[in-house]
Amino acid sequence: MNKITKLINRTLMAASVVGVASCASTDTPILSNKDKAIAVISSIETGDAKAIGYINPEKYIQHNLSVADGLAGFGAVMQQLPQGSAKAQVKRAFQDGDYVVLHTEYNFFGPKAGFDIFRFESGKIVEHWDNLQAIAPANASGRTQFDGTTQITDLDKTAQNKAIVADMIESIFIKGDMAKIGQFIDAKDSDYLQHNPHVADGLTGLGKALTALAEQGMPMIYKTNHKVLGQGNFVLAVSEGVFMNKDVAFYDLFRLANGKVVEHWDTIEEILPRSAWQNNNGKFNF
């Protein structure tokens, strides 16, 4: 049994936040919620047991439908991992109010690209959402699912950039009003850097990919946007729809500059049938 699972078991036996807090040194520096979220995800690889203390053991709502609720569910999954197989390297991280968003390269039952969202209350994690997709080779433009800009800038434009992305998701992705695409993305292929493994840069690459799917009778359909989170030049949109004729969750991370979308990363994950859910919290329910 690894160190994380052992600490989860001890935490559950203690059954109180005070019990967890008492294990920490009073000299420990105060971490931001973003730092705590990174520590929790990184602990999957490092085995840093103290990171579990950043999760509220009495309230941990799980939206990964393959994992049972609470710390016990998390611990059960960790026990199933082959010894030494787990990898978790956070590539991007930002905070929006009580929410923290992480973009991570995983080896978690196989190589995966993942987005995790954590919600905090009183400095503790109380809720978790994620979206995972298998890692694929670089796309036609030579970009991977992880490379590209990581620096957070334009903090004063957070609200503006979130509004732009929300408008784009509604106008272009849900309503399909492609005549408005120029309001959000400029025309040159170099104006829109694409990290989806199956799509090349620019509106040209996006158009070819969408056309090919439609011709195969498998159009990409966005039905509902559930959440938009952002900080500065990075904005994540969480949406629900259909891909390859399956119900899926779309997590789209956009980088913006000067009021336009200039870079995109994403994951697409099939939503499990209701009979396979390990918790009753739903994939979304923000």
The pLDDT tens digits of the residues spanning 186-215 come to: 999 999 999 999 999 999 999 999 999 999
- Cβ contacts of 273-279, under 8 Å, gap ≥ 24: 276/65, 276/66, 277/65, 278/65, 278/66, 278/67, 278/68, 278/73, 279/62, 279/63, 279/65, 279/67, 279/68, 279/69, 279/73
Residue 2 DSSP code? -
What are the pLDDT digits (tens) for 207-250? 999 999 999 999 999 999 999 999 999 999 999 999 999 999 99
Domain 3-135, what architecture?
Roll (3.10)
Strands 99-107 and 124-134: unpaired
Predicted local distance difference test score (pLDDT) of residue 30: 87
Least confident of 2-6, 145-149, 202-206: 2-6
- Nearest Cα to 165, choosing from 236, 264, 94? 236
What are the pLDDT digits (tens) for 84-134? 888 999 999 999 999 999 999 999 899 999 999 999 999 999 999 999 999
Q: Count of H helices and E strands in the chain?
A: 6, 10
Strands 260-270 and 246-257: antiparallel
Contact 105, 267 (CB under 8 A): no
Domain chopping of the chain, boundaries: 3-135, 155-270
Q: Is 108 helix (H, G, I), strand (E, B) or coil?
A: coil
Contact 151, 234 (CB under 8 A): no
Is 7's pLDDT higher than 60?
Answer: no
Structure-token pair, residue 252 = 């789209």
Cβ neighbours of residue 281 closer than 8 Å, sequence gap 6 or more: 61, 62, 63, 69
Q: What is the CATH number of domain 155-270?
A: 3.10.450.50
Is 23's pLDDT higher than 60?
Answer: no
- Tell me how many degrees the CA angle 264-267-272 measures, rounded to the nearest 5: 155
Contact 166, 238 (CB under 8 A): no
Question: What is the pTM assigned to this prediction?
Answer: 0.91
Predicted local distance difference test score (pLDDT) of residue 27: 52
Rounded to 5 degrees, φ, ψ at 153 are -135, 180
Same fold, 3-135 and 155-270: yes
Report the alpha-carbon distance of residue 166 to residue 97 in Å, rounded.
Answer: 17
The secondary structure element, H or E, covering residue 227 is strand 221-231
